[in-house]
Chains A and B, each alone.
Chain A
Amino acid sequence: MNFYPLAGKLIPIFWLLAIVLIGIGLYWGFFKTADILNDQKQYYRIIFVHVASAWMAMWLYGVMVAWAMIGLIFNTRLSYMMASATAVTGTVMTIIALITGAIWGKTSWGTWWDWDPKLTTFLILLFIYIGYLALQSAIDDTRRSDKASALLSLVGLAIVPVIYYAVNCPDPNECASLHQESSLKRVESNILIGMLVTSLGFWAYSFATILMRARNIILERERNTTWVSNLDEVKK
C-alpha cells in the first residue's frame, strides 16, 4: 500500500491550503465587498460559505460516483474505500449548504424553508448520501457492501443535473423558484473572488478529510496484513 504513506504526507499540505484559502476568501468577502448589493443587504455575505459548501456537496457526489465506477469496473479495493471516504465529507457539505441556505432564506425571502425545486432536490441529495452510508453499514460483508452502495450511488447520480436545472431551466415559466439562478457572470468581481477562493479552500478541506478517512478505512480493513503491523505508528 503506497497510498497510505503518501496520503499521510499530503494531509498537512491540504490542511494548510484549506486554512490559508478559506482565510483569504472570507477576508476578501467581508472587507473588500460593498455592504449592500442590489436588493440584498449584508446578509448576502452568507454566500461565501453557502455557495462553497453547495458546490462541494455536488462535486463530491460526482467524485464519489467516479470512485465507485472505477471500483465496479476494475474491482480495485482502494477505489471503493475512496468512494466511502468521500461520502461522509459530501454529507457534511450538504448539511452546511442546507443550514446556511435556510438562514439566508430567512433574511432574504422571509422563510427558513420552501419546497422550491432547488431546495427540494438538494434535500434529496442529502437523503441519497445518507442512503449510501446506511446501505454500506447495513451489509457486513465488505465486498458486497462496496458493490451495493456503488450501484446505489450510480442510480443517485440522476439528482445532480436535476439540482442544476432546477434553477437554470430554459423556460422560466416551467420552473418558478425562489432560489436565484446560478449566474456567475453577473456577480460583482470582489464577491466572485471571495466566493471562488473560499470554494478552493473548501476543496482543500475536502481533500484533507477524505484522505484522513481513507487512511482510517485502510487501517481498519487491512489490520491483519504484515504491512500494517510493520507501520511505525503500530510498532510504537
Chain B
Amino acid sequence: MSDFFHMGGFGVYIWSAMATALVLMLMEPMVLAMKRRSVLADIKRIKRLEERKNRKQ
C-alpha cells in the first residue's frame, strides 16, 4: 500500500497533480451551490417586500 502512495519516488508529484484537480473540481460546484442559495434568498426577500407593499395599498 505504501508502495502505491510512494509511486517510485514520484508520489509527491503525482498526488499533488491529482489533488489540484480534485480541489478545483470540488470547489467549483460548492461555489455554484452557494451562489444558488444566495440568488434564491435575494429573490424571496424581494418577493416578500413586494407582497407587504401590495397589502398596504
- B36:A103 contact, CB within 8 angstroms: no
The docked-state distance in angstroms from the alpha carbon of A46 to that of B13 is 8
Counting chain A CB atoms within 10 Å of each CB, the highest count among B13, B21, B44, B46 belongs to B21
The docked-state distance in angstroms from the alpha carbon of A46 to that of B47 is 50
Give the shortest distance, in Å, between A44 (CB) and chain B (any CB): 9
Q: A41-B8, A100-B20 are in contact. Are A223 and B29 (CB under 8 A)?
A: no
Contact with B along A88-108 (1 / 0, CB 8 A): 110010011001100110110
The count of chain A contact residues (Cβ–Cβ below 8 Å) is 36
Instruction: Specify which of A41, A46, A50, A212 is in contact with B33 (CB 8 Å cutoff).
Output: A212
Contact with B along A213-231 (1 / 0, CB 8 A): 1011001100100001100
Instruction: Specify which of B8, B28, B40 is in contact with A92 (CB 8 Å cutoff).
Output: B28
Instruction: Specify which of B17, B29, B35 is in contact with A49 (CB 8 Å cutoff).
Output: B17
Chain A residues whose C-beta falls within 8 Å of the C-beta of B29 in the assembled complex:
208-209, 212
Give the shortest distance, in Å, between B26 (CB) and chain A (any CB): 11
Q: A46-B13, A53-B21 are in contact. Are A219 and B36 (CB under 8 A)?
A: yes
Q: Mark B residues whose CB is within 8 Å of A.
A: 4, 7-8, 10, 13-14, 16-18, 20-21, 24-25, 28-29, 32-33, 35-36, 39-40, 42-44, 46-47
Q: Mark A residues whose CB is within 8 Å of B.
A: 26, 30, 35, 41-43, 45-46, 49-50, 53, 88-89, 92, 95-96, 99-100, 103-104, 106-107, 205, 208-209, 212-213, 215-216, 219-220, 223, 228-229, 233-234
Cβ contacts A to B, 6 pairs, < 8 Å:
A49-B17, A96-B20, A103-B13, A103-B16, A212-B36, A216-B35
The 7 closest A-B pairs by CB, nearest first: A43-B10, A42-B7, A100-B17, A49-B21, A212-B32, A46-B17, A42-B8
